[in-house]
Every structure is written in C-alpha cells, then in structure tokens.
C-alpha cells in the first residue's frame, strides 16, 4: 500500500511539473577551426627586476598585445657549489595571441629569447596552443541558437504529447557554451623551465571541441 501511495505521489508531482511548464535541455557538440595561437610565458628575473622591465624585452622583440597573467616567487638551487646556493627569483607570467598562421613566427621569437636571453632574463618557459578565437565561437553560437531552440521545441512537444497536454509558448530561455578540451591541437613550447630546455615537436590538428547548451521552458496550454 505504501509503495502504491509513493507511485501515485510521484506521478502527481510529475504532472504538476508538466502543467506548470515543460522544461527541456538540449546540446550540440561541434569542432571549431583553430584560427588563433594562444601563447603563455613564464619569465624568471631577480627580485629587483620589475614587471615592466621584463615586458619591455618581449615588446622590443616584436611581441604585441602582451597581457599580465600573474606573479609568483620561486627558489633556484645551484648544486655546482658546496653547499648548494639558493637564489630567489620572481616569476612574471604573460599571455598573448596571434593568428594561427603566425604560430611559427612567434615561436621563432620565443626561441631566440630562450637561446640568447638578455641579462635580466634568468629563466624562461613558454607554450602555445591553437584554439578557436572568440569571434569564431560567437559566430557558431549565433548559428546554433536557432537550431537548439528547434531541438528544444521538438523535445518539449514530444513530452507534452506523451502526457496528453498541449504545448504553449516559451516561458524562459538560458544558454551556455564551453570548450571540452583540445582535439589534436597544434602546440609548441619548451619542455622544461630554464635556458637549457629544448623545443618540442609540433603535432598536427584541426580545432577545439565546444559544447553548446540551451535550456528552454515552455508553458502548457489550458
């Protein structure tokens, strides 16, 4: 008897949710063209070296659009002496982006700075990955939104029909999108921190996978 009561209660709650509105969630997954190369830089310097001084090194080398990404401290151990000496360094983090076609040219600049660092640069590491630019993401969003709405409407009509109800107008809409990770994306960078690190090989790829989601709630016609 108790089980029957619980089943009836569950059915009543489900019916109440439907008569109050039919909520649907739909998604589409796409792979967007990798049209921009996003670089990340970590530059080590002495404690008396300022961030603008380090930034100027990259500006002078031909890197534009540099943005500050963070600052940290690190200790460098020199085991060539006995006892080992310890030097505290400040790590300045920067980021910049170039069109995908400019990946190799920007990497050449990075390699020149890594192999022949100015005196202020005590350590240097960089990496880069090809990704979809914000404009590419926005364009795909505009294309997919009507398709997501159509998917949601079709799904809601099926649910309403199964419950013997008639679907009404839209009550609310929300949408999100996010990258699920790199999909065979080109990358290039140093394999370890320091001036003696070597550049990795470049691996081929085509883009970044994105998931676009829409939540649409429809009213139920009386």
Q: The whole model's pTM is what?
A: 0.68
**Higher pLDDT among residues 64 and 83, named by residue:** 64
For a pLDDT cut of 70, what percent of the chain falls above it? 79
Establish if 94 belongs to a structural domain: yes
Give residue 115's pLDDT: 85
CA distances from 38 to 34, 116, 201 (A): 10, 23, 17
Mean pLDDT of 198-221: 72
Give residue 80's pLDDT: 79
For a pLDDT cut of 90, what percent of the chain falls above it? 45
13: pLDDT strictly greater than 70: no
Give residue 216's pLDDT: 95
Return the sign of the alpha-carbon dihedral for residues 134, 138, 139, 144: positive
DSSP 98-136: EEGGGHHHHHHHHHHHHHS--TT--EEEEEEEEE--HHH
Establish if 181 belongs to a structural domain: no
Give residue 205's pLDDT: 47
Range of the domain at 116: 36-131
Establish if 27 belongs to a structural domain: no
- Number of compact structural domains in the chain: 1
Q: 96 near 55, Cβ under 8 Å?
A: no
220: pLDDT strictly greater than 50: yes
Alpha helices in 116-199, H assignment, sequence order? 134-162
81-126 residue pLDDT tens: 788 888 899 999 999 999 988 988 998 899 888 888 899 998 888 8
Establish if 24 belongs to a structural domain: no
**Higher pLDDT among residues 115 and 147, named by residue:** 147
Assigned token pair, 138: 């926005």
Establish if 25 belongs to a structural domain: no
Mean pLDDT (the chain) is 80
CATH code, 95: 3.30.70
Q: 216 near 152, Cβ under 8 Å?
A: yes
18-36 residue pLDDT tens: 447 899 999 999 989 888 9
Establish if 142 belongs to a structural domain: no
Give residue 218's pLDDT: 94
Assigned token pair, 4: 């029957």
173-203 residue pLDDT tens: 999 998 876 443 334 444 334 433 334 434 4
**What is the C-alpha separation between 67 and 40, in angstroms, rounded?**
10
Establish if 8 belongs to a structural domain: no
Rg of the chain over CA atoms, in angstroms? Answer: 27
Give residue 197's pLDDT: 37
Establish if 164 belongs to a structural domain: no
């Amino acid at each position: 008897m108790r089980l029957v009561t619980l089943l009836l209660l569950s059915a009543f709650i489900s019916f109440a949710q439907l008569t109050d509105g039919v909520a649907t969630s739909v998604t589409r997954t796409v792979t967007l063209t990798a049209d921009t190369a996003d670089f990340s830089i970590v530059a080590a310097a002495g404690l008396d070296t300022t961030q603008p001084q380090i930034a100027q090194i990259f500006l002078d080398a031909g890197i534009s659009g540099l943005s500050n990404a963070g600052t940290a401290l690190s200790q460098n151990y020199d085991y060539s002496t006995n006892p080992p000496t310890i030097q505290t360094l400040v790590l300045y983090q920067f980021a910049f982006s170039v069109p995908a076609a400019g990946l190799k040219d920007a990497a050449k600049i990075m390699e020149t700075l890594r192999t022949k660092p100015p005196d202020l640069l005590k350590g240097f590491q960089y990496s880069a990955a090809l990704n979809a630019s914000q404009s590419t993401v926005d364009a795909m969003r505009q294309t997919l939104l009507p398709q997501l709405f159509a998917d949601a409407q079709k799904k809601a009509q099926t649910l309403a029909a199964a419950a013997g109800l008639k679907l009404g107008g839209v009550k609310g809409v929300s949408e999100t999108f996010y990258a699920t990770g790199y999909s065979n994306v080109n990358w290039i960078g140093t394999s370890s921190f320091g001036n003696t690190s070597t550049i990795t090989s470049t691996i081929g790829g085509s883009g970044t996978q994105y998931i676009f989601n829409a939540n649409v709630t429809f009213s139920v016609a009386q």
